[in-house]
């Protein structure tokens, strides 16, 4: 990896693009008969090659002191735990709604970074926070989103992911001050694998599972995009401010929404469309 602090933008853009495409394609394996819970297992495995690359960069000398292990596992478990819950949320709520809602998590990261880390922010960021709250109201209403028949389960799951990922980005930022970025990613990989048995336990094997290409193999290709994006996010947060990097990567839902609407031929209602636009504007303001 390059070591220039000027490359935080490049790392952040890779994360944004890869996560945006990942978000749009994530439902395809499940629709083909490969359970979302097993999709999580595949995702955790795709973290391994990225972790191997990261550890190779630092000569296989990760940070293993008590503080590093604690911070690394907090980052890993909040991220992996949120990922597992995300797969559940996508069972009831469509990706083009769930991802924009969850991706408003920079609001929490910004608040924590400003109050706990002393990072500076602007009135533009606070305007983004206000718009993010407005967008959340529009996106989270099942009546508007077309998920009224599914109740609020997907919404509460999305809120949990929102909180977990907001905390993860915050902890990831100040962990970079004392830890190697590669070490952080190693613990993210370990955490993902630790929760894999939980995902297997949650799987309903009484239903047929597609073990063909459109099952685990396609899932592996799709989730590798997420794993690579997670690695570049760690580097972006090493060199850039959390109040800028996290909201910028939060623009990935723009790609997800556009691709999802095209792939699934969905035309959102007026109120929901307004919510999506407001969310995009909010994330843009947060990322300036």
Helices (H) and strands (E) in the chain, counts: 15, 0
Looking at 57-71, 124-138, 190-204, which range is the least confident one? 124-138
- Please state, in angstroms and rounded to a whole number, the distance separating the CA atoms of residues 47 and 209: 23
pTM for the whole structure: 0.80
- Please state, in angstroms and rounded to a whole number, the distance separating the CA atoms of residues 123 and 129: 10
Q: Closest by alpha carbon to 170, among 76, 63, 243, 69?
A: 243
Using the predicted structure, report yes or no on whether residue 39 has a pLDDT greater than 90: yes
Q: Which residue has the higher pLDDT, 148 or 277?
A: 277
- Please state, in angstroms and rounded to a whole number, the distance separating the CA atoms of residues 11 and 230: 10
- Please state, in angstroms and rounded to a whole number, the distance separating the CA atoms of residues 99 and 132: 13
Digit-coded pLDDT (tens) for 202-213: 999 999 999 999
Mean pLDDT of the region 176-191 = 90
- Please state, in angstroms and rounded to a whole number, the distance separating the CA atoms of residues 55 and 185: 9
Q: Closest by alpha carbon to 125, among 6, 17, 245, 9?
A: 245
269: left (phi > 0), else alpha (psi -120 to 50), else beta?
beta
Range picked from 61-70, 116-125, 250-259, 269-278 for highest mean pLDDT: 61-70
Q: What is the pLDDT of residue 2?
A: 44
- Please state, in angstroms and rounded to a whole number, the distance separating the CA atoms of residues 45 and 245: 26
Q: Closest by alpha carbon to 28, among 212, 222, 250?
A: 222
In the chain, the percentage of residues whose pLDDT exceeds 70 is: 85
Q: Which residue has the tokens 């608040």?
A: 111
- Please state, in angstroms and rounded to a whole number, the distance separating the CA atoms of residues 191 and 176: 18
- Determine which helix (DSSP H) or strand (DSSP E) holds 113, and give its type and residue range: none
Q: Closest by alpha carbon to 153, among 168, 164, 162, 142?
A: 142
Q: What is the pLDDT of residue 61?
A: 93
Using the predicted structure, report yes or no on whether residue 46 has a pLDDT greater than 80: yes
Mean pLDDT of the region 23-40 = 90
Mean pLDDT of the region 7-34 = 88
Q: Are 243 and 29 in contact (CB under 8 A)?
A: no
- The stretches of 58-202 forming alpha helices (DSSP H) are 66-92, 95-102, 106-112, 123-139, 142-145, 153-175, 181-194, 196-202
The DSSP output letter for 5 is G
Q: Are 71 and 175 in contact (CB under 8 A)?
A: yes
């Amino acid at each position: 990896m390059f070591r220039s602090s000027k490359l935080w933008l490049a790392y952040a853009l890779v994360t944004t693009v890869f996560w945006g495409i990942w978000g749009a394609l994530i439902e395809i394996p499940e629709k083909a008969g490969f359970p979302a819970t097993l999709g999580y297992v595949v995702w955790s495995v795709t973290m391994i090659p990225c972790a191997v690359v990261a550890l190779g960069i630092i000569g296989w000398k990760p940070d293993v002191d008590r503080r590093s292990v604690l911070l690394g596992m907090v980052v890993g478990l909040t991220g992996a735990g949120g990922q597992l819950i995300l797969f559940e949320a996508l069972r009831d709520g469509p990706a083009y709604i769930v991802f924009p809602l969850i991706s408003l998590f920079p609001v929490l990261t910004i608040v924590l970074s400003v109050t706990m880390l002393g990072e500076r922010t602007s009135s533009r960021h606070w305007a983004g926070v206000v718009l993010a709250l407005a967008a959340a109201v529009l996106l989270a209403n099942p009546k508007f989103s077309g998920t009224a028949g599914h109740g609020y389960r997907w919404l509460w799951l999305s809120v949990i992911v929102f909180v977990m990922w907001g905390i993860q980005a915050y902890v990831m930022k100040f962990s970079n001050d004392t830890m190697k970025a590669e070490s952080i990613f190693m613990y993210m990989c370990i955490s993902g694998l630790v929760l894999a048995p939980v995902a297997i336990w949650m799987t309903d094997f009484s239903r047929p599972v597609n073990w063909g290409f459109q099952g685990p193999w396609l899932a592996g290709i799709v989730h590798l995009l997420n794993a690579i994006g997670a690695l570049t996010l760690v580097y972006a947060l090493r060199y850039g401010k959390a109040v800028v990097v996290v909201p910028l990567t939060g623009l990935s839902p723009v790609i997800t929404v556009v691709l999802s609407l095209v792939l699934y031929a969905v035309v959102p209602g007026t109120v929901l469309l307004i919510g999506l636009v407001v969310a995009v504007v909010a994330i843009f303001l947060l990322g300036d």
